[in-house]
C-alpha cells in the first residue's frame, strides 16, 4: 500500500461516521437525533457494530486510493504543463488553482464508484438491514439493478466537490510551501515538518470547500431510485428547507479531525517519491 493509502485509510475508516452524520434523517419533534455529533456517532457505531463497523464500506476506497492519487497528481502536473510555455515558468496562484481543478476532473471516474459503494454499505449498517454482504456484492447488485449508471450515480456531484476542492488543495499547498520556505533557500529544500504543515493545512482548505457538495453527494448516492428526479437541485432544496443551511456542513468535525494528518502524510509521500524518482532517473 502506498504512503498515501496508509495515511488516508486508518483515519478514514475510524471516522467513517462522516457519511452516517451527513445522511441521518431529521429527528421527530421532541426526539433527539440519531447521532448528536462525531464522537456520539463513533461511540454508537463501536457499541452496535464493533470495530468492524468503523471500517464498513472501506474495501472499495482502499482499492481505488492508489490509482486515484496517481491520477490526481498526474492531472495536476499535466494542468501545470498545459499552462507553461517553458518548463521553468513559474505559475501564478490562479494558474495553480486551474491545474488543481483539472486533477479533480481526472479522479472523478475512480472516486464515484468507490464512494457510491462505501456510502451504501455504511447506511445499510445504520439501518440494520443486510442487503449487501460486502463491497463486491454491493457493486454486483447495484449493477444488476441499475446498470453502469447506478454504479456512477453521483458523478456530477463528485465533480462539483472535487474540481473546486482540488484547485484549492494544490494552490494552498504551493502557497504554503512558498511562505514556509526560509529566505535564501529553495522550495525543494523544505524540511519534513514544513512539508507536513503545508500538506495538512492544504487538506483543511480542501475540505472547507468540499464539504457542502459532499453532503449533497452522500444524500443523493444513498437515496432510493427516483427520489430526486432533478438531481442535486432537489437534494439541496430538501436539505435546506428541512434542516437549514448549516446542514450542508454535517460531518465537519469528523472530516477536519482526519484532514490534517492524512493530507500531511500524503504530500510528504509525494515529495519523497518525487525526490527518489528524480534521483534514479534524473534525465527522464
pLDDT at residue 19, rounded to an integer: 61
Whole-number pLDDT of residue 63: 67
Rounded CA separation 202/182 (Å): 19
Residue 87 belongs to a domain? yes
Do 89 and 187 sit in the same domain of this protein? no
Asked if the structure places residue 265 within a domain, the reply is yes
**Residue 224: its pLDDT value, please?**
87
| Interatomic CA distance for residues 23 and 4, integer angstroms | 27
Angle at 250 between CA 245 and CA 255, to 5 degrees: 135
CB count, 10 Å around CB of 19? Answer: 30
Q: Which positions ≥6 away from 98 have C-beta within 8 Å?
A: 79, 83, 167
Instruction: Tell me, yes or no, whether 231 lies in a domain.
Output: yes
Q: What is the pTM of this model?
A: 0.78
Instruction: Give the count of domains, the chain.
Output: 2
Determine contact, residues 66/4, Cβ cutoff 8 Å.
yes
Looking at residue 176, its pLDDT comes to: 97
In a shared domain, residues 100 and 145:
yes
Which parts of the chain register pLDDT below 70? 1-42, 44-46, 49-64, 125-128, 283-284
The pLDDT value recorded for residue 5 is 41
- Cα–Cα nearest to 97, from 43, 145, 177, 165: 165
Tell how far CA 86 is from the center of its chain: 33
Boundary of a domain, candidates 125, 153, 181: 153
Question: Does residue 117 sit in the same domain as residue 222?
Answer: no
Q: How is residue 210 written as a grid cell?
A: 468540499
Task: Say what the pLDDT of residue 15 is.
Answer: 46
* Residues of the domain holding 121: 44-153
Which of 93, 118, 153 marks a domain boundary? Answer: 153
One domain for residues 145 and 189: no
Say yes or no: 274 and 186 in one domain: yes
Instruction: Using the structure block, give the residue that is written with the C-alpha cell 494544490.
Output: 170
Q: What is the pLDDT of residue 91?
A: 95
Last residue of a domain, one of 153, 174, 194: 153
Amino acid at each position: 500500500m502506498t504512503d498515501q493509502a496508509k495515511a488516508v485509510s486508518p483515519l478514514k475508516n475510524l471516522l467513517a461516521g462522516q457519511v452516517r452524520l451527513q445522511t441521518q434523517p431529521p429527528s421527530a419533534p421532541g426526539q433527539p437525533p440519531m447521532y448528536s455529533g462525531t464522537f456520539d456517532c463513533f461511540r454508537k457505531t463501536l457499541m452496535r457494530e464493533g470495530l468492524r463497523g468503523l471500517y464498513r464500506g472501506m474495501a472499495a476506497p482502499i482499492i481505488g486510493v492508489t490509482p486515484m492519487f496517481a491520477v490526481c497528481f498526474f492531472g495536476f502536473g499535466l494542468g501545470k504543463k498545459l499552462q507553461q510555455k517553458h518548463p521553468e515558468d513559474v505559475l501564478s496562484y490562479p494558474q495553480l488553482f486551474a491545474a488543481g481543478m483539472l486533477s479533480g476532473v481526472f479522479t472523478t471516474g475512480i472516486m464515484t464508484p468507490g464512494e457510491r459503494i462505501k456510502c451504501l454499505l455504511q447506511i445499510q449498517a445504520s439501518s440494520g438491514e443486510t442487503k449487501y454482504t460486502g463491497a463486491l456484492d454491493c457493486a454486483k447488485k447495484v449493477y444488476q439493478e441499475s446498470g453502469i449508471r447506478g454504479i456512477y450515480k453521483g458523478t456530477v456531484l463528485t465533480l462539483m466537490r472535487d474540481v473546486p476542492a482540488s484547485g484549492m488543495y494544490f494552490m494552498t499547498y504551493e502557497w504554503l510551501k512558498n511562505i514556509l520556505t526560509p529566505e535564501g533557500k529553495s522550495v525543494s529544500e523544505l524540511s519534513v515538518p514544513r512539508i507536513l504543515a503545508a500538506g495538512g493545512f492544504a487538506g483543511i482548505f480542501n475540505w472547507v470547500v468540499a464539504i457542502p457538495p459532499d453532503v449533497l453527494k452522500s444524500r443523493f448516492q444513498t437515496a432510493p431510485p427516483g427520489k430526486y428526479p432533478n438531481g442535486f437541485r432537489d437534494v439541496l432544496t430538501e436539505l435546506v428547507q428541512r434542516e437549514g443551511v448549516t446542514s450542508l456542513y454535517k460531518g465537519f468535525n469528523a472530516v477536519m479531525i482526519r484532514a490534517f494528518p492524512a493530507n500531511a502524510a500524503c504530500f510528504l509521500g509525494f515529495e519523497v517519491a518525487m525526490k527518489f524518482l528524480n534521483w534514479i532517473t534524473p534525465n527522464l
